[in-house]
Structure 1
Amino acid sequence: MWSVWLSVISGLLIVFSTHWLYRWRNPKCNGKLPPGSMGFPLIGETLSFMVSNKSIDTPLFVKKRMEKYGPIFRTSLVGRPVVVSSDPEFNYQIFQQEGKLVERWYMDSFSKLLQGLDASGYNAHKNIHKYLRNIILGTFGTEALKEKLLPKLEDAINEKLQCWSKLSSLEVKKGTSAMIFDFTAAQLFSYEPNKSGENIGESFDNFLEGLMAFPINIPGTAYHRCLQNQKAAVNIITNTLEERKRNPEIRKGDFLDQILADMKTESFLTEKFIIYMMFGLILASFETISATLTLAIKLITDNPKVLQELTEEHEAILNNREDADSGLTWKEYKSMNFTHNVINESLRLASVAPGILRRTLQDIQVNGYTIPKGWTLMVVPSAIQLNPRTYEDPLAFNPWRWQDISANVTAKNFIPFGAGMMSCAGADFSKVLMAVFLHALVTKYRWTAIKGGVVIRSPALGFGNGFHIQVEAKHDG
């Protein structure tokens, strides 16, 4: 009797498993799915996606599947169905239809770090996005840069470079991460690392790499380190917020002051929302800018011709001043034509974000295929910005190429800050920071590469064994 029941149960399990496996590999769709594979049950093709390669090129996972399936293919990552797109025309259409065809979406690991920001609530209330974009532009946008941030940036960068020149070795990514973290946090909530007891900015090196790992919170894992660093930053923001609320007479003139004033009129500005929103802003700034800046320094180091023209441009700015000791002006920043080309080329090659994620709000038709409602859409910047059909010799560091690239090309093929309504509000801040840093670096210092610097995509941009340099102040005469 037991053998009969075991046979029945075994048969049912086999039928159930077979059906479940079939449904996994062939998801429901009101049309024809893009080509591709869903990989193994639950984990999908996540392991292949995470494989690193020592190249600045598009991640192997994406590149191999583009060659096999074309610019749009399906897969499954961390248990979610995903359509990956490297089609510039389709991506441009999608970015123009934010809120209609797609909405902002975060990876599970990222969502846990920003647990105070409910993605569904954020997407449901468009006034939240409008409010945040306006207040971010008010703090880090063009007018703020022109009126007050430019001299602050120059002072902070000069101070940091002076400190670095006293070191026998500097790991560039770690150093620039801490510099940008400290400056951004200072503008947001007047963070002072020297008074906080610990410089948490130095702990955030390679944060994005840990964020892209499996969200397993076990000591020793990259994701666990992410959570620990996030906790430290959130605690500092929380303590600062509580202190300001206890002492309303404290006014720093920073981002937090404005937010606290707006809490009286904006119902969505809860304490939890404010804390995680400010952490998100810090995360968005220091990780992407530091990785791009580190790559720029490495590429400039490896290309003496670029360094020579860059130095000549910035020395000319100093020579044209009536007062050689005066600070950078907005007019001087706008005149840095070759510097802007270097920055654009560094942004193009860096492609720091492994993918820009959106969730479909309805079935989307593209090239005869259907992307089902509720699926994740991943736009891969590196696949677009390193496309040989758009950029000749795409892996070469060639700032001069930007002299001839039209706005029509960049609109769809250059997306380091995203595109459409959800493009990064801190784009100008990022470019100004890099320009000011390069200005101070090439006019006042020389540097030598010591070790490391191998570029790795895993799939985030990283540097094998770090990138270590020795910085030395230039001396007149």
Structure 2
Amino acid sequence: MWSIPILEIVMGFVALAVIAVSHWKYKWRIHSSRGRLPPGSMGFPFIGETIEFFIPTKSIDIPPFLKKRTKRYGTLFKTNLVGRPAVVSADPEFNRFILREEGKLVEMWYLDAFAKLLGHDTTTGLEVKTNATGYIHKHVTNVVRNHFGPERLRDELLPQFQAIVEKALDAWSTREFIEVKRDCAAMVFNLTAKCLFSYDAERSGENLAEDIRRLYQGLMSLPINIPGTTFHKSSKSQKKLMNTIEREIAERMASPVTRKRDFLDHLLEDMKTQTLLTRDLVTYVMVALMVASLETVSTGLAMTIKLISESPQVVQELIKENEEALRNRRISGRKEITWEEYKSMAYTTRVINESFRLASISPGIVRRALKDIHYKGYIIPKDWTIIMVQTGLHLNPEAFVDPLDFNPSRWKQEDIEKVTANYYIPFGGGGRPCAGAEFTKALYAVFLQVLVTKYRWVKVKGGEVVRTPALEFRGGFHVKVSTIPK
């Protein structure tokens, strides 16, 4: 009695599969008819090559997904990720071309999970037209520069960095050991949350840093929202973060007399004159900035600690330079770091540059084609995703000798400007480089100064690096921090 319904169900699935494959083939045939696509494979229907893209690898080297395809197809190839046709580039010339065409041929874009979790998706009701998106991003970037840029660093933030870093390292030295990534994240969150919305993590009792970590993990996952998946856990953390910001906005709008002069206040004030800035959009912007400022900065800082821990000569050079800076500070009668002191530390800057190069924390810089793009005989069709992968540039042996070696001295070469112009984009480039670049570099410099001049540390366990395609420490990275005996 069940044979007919079961047969119908099976035949229905077969019919759907045939229709799906036919549609998929037709879709790529239409794209191909526009012109010659870059070489590559579109993988299976719908999922494309997504599974291989997300396979983790225990190395800081170029991920196998990218290495395998650049060897076969070259530094510019097509693929299909999460059902979206994409072009992946490790080609410095193509990247410069795309970054120059921001707002003309391309716009900022996000893979599906990123879009759904950070508000750049039709299901959130926040998707806006291209010109509006560009305007909003430009406005928010200007506000970020106002609160986190060089002028604010020079006048106010550097001493705050020093105080928070000293407090964190002092606390670390009293513990049996710390988990570097987690504890760096807590330190960075204490700093950035205060700057963003005057949030006191210690008084609140909420572990928002852990929710931000879960949200970040979801950005690099398949957007499957069922219990047990990374995306589902990430969605729950996103709701918690959204609720926290929404409550803060509601309190400030209910009592407009109270002003804290922080980043959130600036956006709420701008809502009076900028009609595109809504409460929902401001909430998403705040969550996105917390993710950007916490996960990437703390992961990079943990990677820096790992790299110098394995390079005693680098530590000695850091101690030498920073001890000299402290001597000069004492002679001048100052107690806090200044902008001039920060900018004078050449070797520390080289260490930071080399750490950024090897870490390549982000899986790539993502854009969407606003129209058909013609490039050297190829066509990138309108609406295709473009992913510029930093690892393919930062670890290119043609640009960097022994690219997997941690060698800060490579940054004093005479031709380094030519290399950085082509193969070094840790903060993006073109018309929309990361507005928090100087903030991040300054925080790293202050942290390294306090660490090497007042403390010593030894690895306890862990430290294994995994690319997923983002960078993680599987099993953690645990160290024992001790004060230097006086």
Q: 1:64 maps to what in 2?
A: 68
Distance 1:183 1:156 in 2: 7
- The corresponding residue for 1:32 is 36
Corresponding residue number in structure 1 for 2:104: 100
Structure 2 unaligned regions, length at least 5: none
Distance in 1 between residues matched to 2:259 and 2:479, nearest whole Å:
40
Of 82, 86, 89, which aligns to 2:90? Answer: 86
**1:42 aligned to 43, 46, 61, which one?**
46
Q: How far does residue 16 in structure 1 lie from its aligned partner after superposition?
A: 4.5
1:21-420 correspondence runs (5 A)? 21-23=24-26, 26=29, 28-29=31-32, 30-115=34-119, 118-121=126-129, 123-205=131-213, 207-321=215-329, 322=331, 326-404=335-413, 405-420=415-430
1:176 Cα deviation from its structure 2 partner: 1.1
Paired with 2:448 and 2:484, the residues of 1 have a C-alpha distance of 15
Deviation of the 1:412 alpha carbon: 2.1
Say whether the 8 Å CA contact 2:215–2:235 is kept in structure 1: no
Q: Hey, what's the Cα distance between the residues in 1 that align with 2:261 and 2:13? A: 69
Tell me how far 1:9 sits from its aligned partner: 9.7
TM-superposed deviation, 1:125? 4.8
Asked if 1:464 is matched to 2:474, the reply is yes
One-letter amino acid matched to 1:409: V
How many residues align? The count is: 471
Q: Does 1:451 align with 2:461?
A: yes
Aligned partner of 2:23 in structure 1 is: 20
Which letter maps to 1:449? K
Q: Please state whether the residue corresponding to 1:33 is helix, strand or coil.
A: coil
Aligned partners of 2:18 and 2:214: how far apart in 1?
45
1:42-67 deviation digits (Å, cap 9, x = unpaired):
11111100111111011110110000
Instruction: Specify the code of the residue in structure 1 equivalent to 2:114.
Output: F
Opposite residue 326 of structure 1, the aligned amino acid is K
**Quick check: 1:209–1:458 contact (8 Å CA) kept in 2?**
no
**Distance (whole Å) between structure 1 residues aligned to residue 387 and residue 109 of structure 2:** 10
Contact 1:122/1:128 (<8 A) preserved: no
Deviation at 1:197, TM superposition (A): 2.9
CA distance in 2, matches of 1:163, 1:350: 26
Task: Spell out, residue by residue over 1:299-335, the C-alpha distance to the aligned partner (whole angstroms, 9 max, x if none).
Answer: 0000000011011111111112226770111111001
Q: Does 1:474 align with 2:484?
A: yes
Corresponding letter in the other structure for 1:143: E
Shift of 1:220: 2.8
> Structure 1 residues 190 and 9 mapped into 2: Cα distance closer, same or farther (>3 Å)?
closer
CA distance, structure 1, for counterparts of residue 17 and residue 389 of structure 2: 38
User: C-alpha distance in 2, partners of 1:270/1:197?
Assistant: 29
Measure the CA separation in 2 of the matches of 1:150 and 1:239: 30
- The CA deviation at 1:206 is 6.3
Q: Contact (CA 8 Å) 1:50, 1:459: kept in 2 or not?
A: yes
2:136 and 2:277 in contact (8 A); partners too: no
Whole-angstrom CA distance in 1 between matches of 2:71 and 2:195? 45
Q: Share of identical aligned residues, percent?
A: 48
Deviation at 1:209, TM superposition (A): 3.3
Letter in 2 for 1:467: F
Distance 1:119 1:93 in 2: 26
TM-score (structure 1 length as normaliser): 0.94
Greater CA deviation, 12-21 or 93-102?
Answer: 12-21
Q: Distance in 2 between matches of 1:147 and 1:223?
A: 41
| Contact 2:371 2:381 (8 Å CA) reproduced | yes
Structure 2 CA distance for aligned equivalents of residues 196 and 224 of structure 1: 25
Output the TM-score relative to the length of structure 2: 0.92
CA contact (8 A) 1:160 1:179 kept: yes
Whole-angstrom distance in 2 between the partners of 1:313 and 1:335: 10
The unaligned stretches of length 5 or more in structure 1 are none
In the TM superposition, what whole-angstrom CA distance separates every residue of 1:221-241 from its partner, at most 9, and x where no partner exists?
A: 222222222222222211111
Range that drifts further, 257-266 or 304-313: 257-266
Letter in structure 2 aligned against 1:44 = G
| In structure 2, C-alpha distance between the alignment counterparts of 1:352 and 1:55, rounded to whole Å | 13
Q: For residues 13 and 141 of structure 2, what CA distance do their matches in structure 1 show? A: 57
- Cα distance in 2 for residues equivalent to 1:244 and 1:384: 45
